[in-house]
Amino acid sequence: MTHPVTLITGASSGIGAELARVFSAHGHRVALVARRADRLDALAAEITASGRMSPIVVPCDLGQADAADRIAEALTAESVEVKYLVNNAGYGLFGRAAELDHADQLAMIDLNIRALTDLTLRFAPNVIRLRGGILNVGSIGGFLPGPGMAVYYASKAYVLSFSEALRGELGPLGVRVTVICPGPVPSGFQARAGVKPGFDSAILNVSAKDVAADGYRALMANKRAVLPGLGIKVVPFLLRLFPRDFILWGVTGFQMRRRS
Q: What is the DSSP string of 128-150?
A: HHHT-EEEEE--GGGGS--TTSH
The CA–CA distances, whole Å, from 259 to 96, 99, 110, 169, 235 equal 11, 14, 24, 40, 22
Q: 175 exposed, middle or buried (CB, 10 Å; 0-12, 13-18, 19+)?
A: buried
Query: Residues of 82-120 as b/e, b for ≥16 C-beta within 10 angstroms?
Result: bbbbbbbbbbbbbbebeebeeeebeebbbbbbbbbebbb
DSSP 259: B
Give pairs for 33-39: CB < 8 Å, separation 24+. Answer: 33/7, 33/8, 33/9, 33/58, 33/59, 33/60, 33/62, 33/71, 33/89, 34/9, 34/10, 34/59, 34/60, 34/89, 35/59, 35/60, 35/61, 35/62, 36/12, 39/12, 39/13
CA 113/CA 109 separation, integer angstroms = 5
Active site residue 153: no
Catalytic residue among 152, 153, 158, 216, which? 152
Q: Which residues are catalytic?
A: 152
